[in-house]
Structure 1
Amino acid sequence: MLIRIVRMTFQPEKTNEFLEIFRNSKDKIRAFEGCNHVELLQDLNHPNIYSTYSLWDSEEHLNNYRDSKLFGQVWKATKALFADKPQAWSNVQVDI
């Protein structure tokens, strides 16, 4: 299982536009092959900073999504609203 976290800082006046993009695309992303979960988190102290938290069967499934037409449309619209460069992490759970 791959855990993907993407932290995005938006222009404060553009956050509602981003939320609309996310509302309109979250079910399509969740339905993408290999995606098990997608959720949106808002920073406690900075309301214009959001993170997506998603679970994927594998890095290959994530990369297939990142190479898809859906991602291209969503990411193009989203990145136009950024106030800063996004940060992304891919992780795997460690069972200890």
Structure 2
Amino acid sequence: MLVRIVKMSFEPSKIEEFLANFEVVKDKIRNFEGCNFLELYRDQNTTNIFFTYSYWNSEADLNNYRHSDLFKGVWANTKPMFNAKPEAWSVDKLASLE
């Protein structure tokens, strides 16, 4: 399994627009083939910084999403709202405790 972490920093005036758009697309992203999990987090102190965590069956599945019309549409809507370059990491989960 591949875990994808994306850090996004938004113009404060665009936060509500981002959240409204995420609400519309989140189920489509989560139900994309190969995606098993999706969460959105917000920094407690710097409230214009958000993180997505998603779990993918493989790098190929993530890449299929990243080259899909769904991703292109999501990214086209989201990118103009940033006030800093987004950062992304693909990581392997080594331990998980509940």
Q: What's the TM-score once normalised by structure 2's chain length?
A: 0.95
Query: 5+ unaligned residues in a row in structure 2: which ranges?
Result: none
RMSD: 0.7
In structure 2, how many angstroms separate the alpha carbons of the residues matched to 1:94 and 1:40?
Answer: 21
1:51-78: CA deviation from partner (whole Å, max 9, x where unpaired): 0000000000000000000000001100
Identity %: 56
Q: What is the TM-score when the length of structure 1 is the normalising length?
A: 0.96
Amino acid at match of 1:12: P
Q: 1:94 deviation in Å? A: 2.3
1:25 aligned onto 2:25:
yes
The list of structure 1 runs, each at least 4 consecutive aligned residues, that deviate by more than 3 angstroms after superposition, is none
Structure 2 residue 89 is the aligned partner of structure 1 residue 82: no
SS in 2 for 1:38: strand
Aligned match of 2:93: 93
Q: CA deviation at 1:14?
A: 0.3
Alignment of 1:1-96 (within 5 A): 1-94=1-94
Structure 1 residue 21, shift from structure 2 partner: 1.0
Q: Which runs of 5+ in 1 are unaligned?
A: none
Partner of 1:80, secondary structure, is: helix
Distance 2:71 2:23 in 1: 14
